[in-house]
Amino acid sequence: MKLVAMAGLIALAAVTVSAQQKGADEAAIAKVRTAYQTAAGSQDGAAIAKLFAPDGVEMPPNAPTVKGRAAIEAFHKAFGKQWMMHGMTITGTETKVTGDTAYDVGTYAQGLMPQTGGAVINDKGKYIVLLKKDASGAWWVTHAIYNSDIPPPAAAKK
């Protein structure tokens, strides 16, 4: 009887530790999400790139895939030359951690104004981000893809 009780306590302790680690990992991933929102909102391409693994991949809408921190930084700097950000909100709706990998799914809303002038475009959409935890416990974005819920502008009539 004591052996069964001891086994039960050990199993309960393992579940508790696992749940605590999962909660800590989800909180760390939420910090990555917030850091991305802050960096994107201030159009800081270098800060965005630093959230990615060295060989990270970003798959932006209407543009080729960019791979590696230098390419990701260059993409965001070029984007900033075309568009001025007017607010960015990222809302996580689902985060799943499995060992040292995770995914984060959610929505975004942003205001964009052409650098050449014009009205602010209110954009909203969804994203999926894959993350990997390194040996130090830090989480890095390995892949990010996002796209708009807003249809593209109509083609000019001839």
**DSSP string for 94-131:** EEEEETTEEEEEEEEEEEEEETT--PPEEEEEEEEEEE
pLDDT tens-place values along the chain, 158 residues long: 565 555 554 544 444 445 566 789 999 999 999 999 999 999 999 999 999 999 999 999 989 999 999 999 999 999 999 998 888 999 999 999 999 999 999 999 999 888 998 898 899 999 999 999 999 999 999 999 999 999 877 766 76
- Going from the C-alpha of 82 to that of each of 51, 76, 116, 144, the distances in angstroms are 23, 10, 8, 21
DSSP assigned state of 19 = H
pTM of the predicted protein model: 0.82
Q: How many CB atoms lie within 10 A of CB 44?
A: 16
- Domain architecture of the chain: domains with CATH: 2-148 (3.10.450.50)
Q: How far is CA 85 from CA 32, 36, 157, in A?
A: 20, 14, 29
- For residue 9, what pLDDT is reported? 47
